[in-house]
Amino acid sequence: MKKAVTLGAVLLSISALSVNGYCDVKKGQKINGATEFQEHCASCHPKGGNIVNAKKPLNKKALNANGIRTAKDIVAKMRNPGPGMTKFDEKSVPTVEANAIAEYILKTFK
C-alpha cells in the first residue's frame, strides 16, 4: 500500500509539472514564439494590437515610444507590467518561452 501511495504521489507530481510546461522543453529544444504568443498574449494583443490600451500596440513605433526596444525589454514588461496587463512570472511563462515570445513580437509587428 505504501508503494502505491508513493507511486501515486510521483505520478501526480510529474503530471503537475507537465501542465506547467516544465516537462515539454528539453535542453536545446527550440520554442515556437508564434505558438507561445497565441497561447499567452493573443487574447489581449490580437494581430499585435492591444484591446486594453489601444495606445500601446506591439508595433515597433509604439514599443519604442514606451521605452521598449529589445527582447529583454519585452520580457521585463511581461514580468512587471503596468495596469491592465497580466503579470507573467517565471512559473507561468518560463524564460525560454518569454524570450521566444519577445523575439516573435520584434520580428512580426513592425
Query: Which pTM value belongs to this model?
Result: 0.74
Q: What tens digit of pLDDT does each residue of 70-103 get?
A: 999 999 999 999 899 999 999 999 999 999 999 9
- The number of residues in the chain equals 110
Using a pLDDT cut of 70, give the percent of the chain over it. 75
DSSP string, 39-107: HHTTTTSGGG--SS-TT--SSHHHHHHTT--SHHHHHHHHHS--TTS----TTTS-HHHHHHHHHHHHH
Q: What is the mean pLDDT of residues 1-27?
A: 43
Are the CB atoms for 101 and 36 separated by under 8 Å? yes
- pLDDT of residue 5 exceeding 80, the answer is no
The structural domains of the chain, ordered by start, are 1-26 (no CATH), 31-108 (1.10.760.10)
Region 51-66 average pLDDT = 95
pLDDT given at position 30: 83
Residue 1 — pLDDT band, cuts 50, 70, 90?
A: low
| In contact, 71 and 40? CB cutoff 8 Å | no
Mean pLDDT of the chain: 83
